């Protein structure tokens, strides 16, 4: 595969509360629940994005810049994926017939999205694809942010400024924050509470 620099949208759909959930509950039931939830996330995201890989509790995906129909399409994808995740988690909890900690703790899980627009290189080695580049690194660094600390949110979407600018999307619905990372400097971000949007949609 030619190592050609491409430009597009990079996304991480990351299950919040995963580490605590797995560490404090029965591993077999915990992993089964996580697998079901990840499958639900993947089914929705792949409607638009290409899945790059599964990263434990997160789905990493990308979309070439010229393949995004419009900003509303991306917003709708995120809303629909979050809706499916929440409904799937509720169904798993409601259908649980055992009193184990894993089944009882499913409602503590949530989902966050990190979206960044930038450059990347598709690499293939021994039949395995991977994405490389500083923007790919930045996206993954964004998983460690101050959103939950500053807002209390566990389920949210975070866009970098570059992403909203490229999408020509309004920043009014979002809360602006700045994250700082070693070697990458300051990153202007815009965040939105998805749990509130979910409750509004379910009314």
CATH architecture of the region 5-145: 2-Layer Sandwich (3.30)
Q: Classify each residue of 94-115 as buried b or exposed e, where b means 16 or more C-beta atoms within 10 Å of its C-beta.
A: eeeeeeeebbebbeebbbbbbb
- C-alpha span between 191 and 147 (Å, rounded): 8
**203, 193 contact by CB (below 8 A):** no
Paired residues of 187 in beta bridges: 179
Contact 191, 156 (CB under 8 A): yes
Which DSSP string corresponds to 31-65? HHHHHHHHHHHHHHHTTTSEEEEEETTEEEEEEEG
pLDDT of residue 1: 46
Sorted by where each begins, the domain ranges of the chain are 5-145
CA 195 – CA 91 distance, rounded (Å): 17
| pTM, rounded to two decimals | 0.91
Neighbours of 192 (CB within 10 A): 17
H helix and E strand count, the chain: 8, 8
Q: What sign results for the dihedral spanned by CA atoms 167, 171, 175, 178?
A: positive
Categorise residue 95: left if φ over 0, alpha if ψ from -120 to 50, beta otherwise: alpha
Q: What is the mean pLDDT of residues 1-30?
A: 74
* pLDDT at site 52: 94
Mean pLDDT check: name the lowest of 55-59, 122-126, 192-196: 122-126
CA distances from 184 to 108, 120, 147, 179 (A): 32, 16, 18, 10
Whether the CA torsion 71, 160, 149, 101 is positive or negative: it is: positive
| Mean pLDDT score of the chain | 88
pLDDT at residue 56 in the model: 82
What percent of the chain lies above the pLDDT cut of 90? 64
Is the pLDDT at 169 greater than 50? The verdict is yes
Concatenated DSSP letters of 65-120: GGG---HHHHHHHHHHHHHHHHHHHHHHHHH--S--HHHHHGGG-EEEEEEEEEEE
């Amino acid at each position: 595969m030619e190592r050609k620099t491409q430009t597009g949208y990079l996304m991480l759909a990351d299950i919040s509360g995963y580490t605590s959930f797995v560490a404090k509950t029965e591993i077999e039931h915990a992993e089964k629940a996580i697998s079901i939830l990840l499958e639900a996330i993947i089914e929705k995201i792949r409607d638009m994005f290409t899945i790059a890989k599964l990263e434990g509790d997160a789905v990493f995906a990308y979309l070439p810049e010229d393949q995004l129909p419009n900003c509303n399409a991306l917003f709708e994808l995120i809303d629909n994926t979050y809706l499916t995740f929440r409904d799937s988690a509720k169904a798993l909890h409601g259908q649980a017939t055992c009193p184990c900690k894993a089944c009882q703790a499913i409602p503590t899980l949530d989902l966050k999205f990190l979206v960044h627009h930038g450059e990347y290189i598709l690499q293939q080695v021994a039949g395995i694809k991977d994405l490389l580049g500083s923007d790919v690194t930045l996206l993954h660094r964004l998983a460690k942010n101050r959103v939950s600390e500053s807002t209390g949110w566990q389920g949210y979407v975070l866009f970098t400024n570059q992403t909203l600018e490229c999408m020509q999307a309004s920043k009014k619905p979002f809360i602006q924050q700045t994250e700082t990372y070693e070697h990458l400097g300051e990153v202007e971000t815009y965040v939105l509470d998805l749990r509130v949007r979910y409750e509004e949609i379910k009314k």
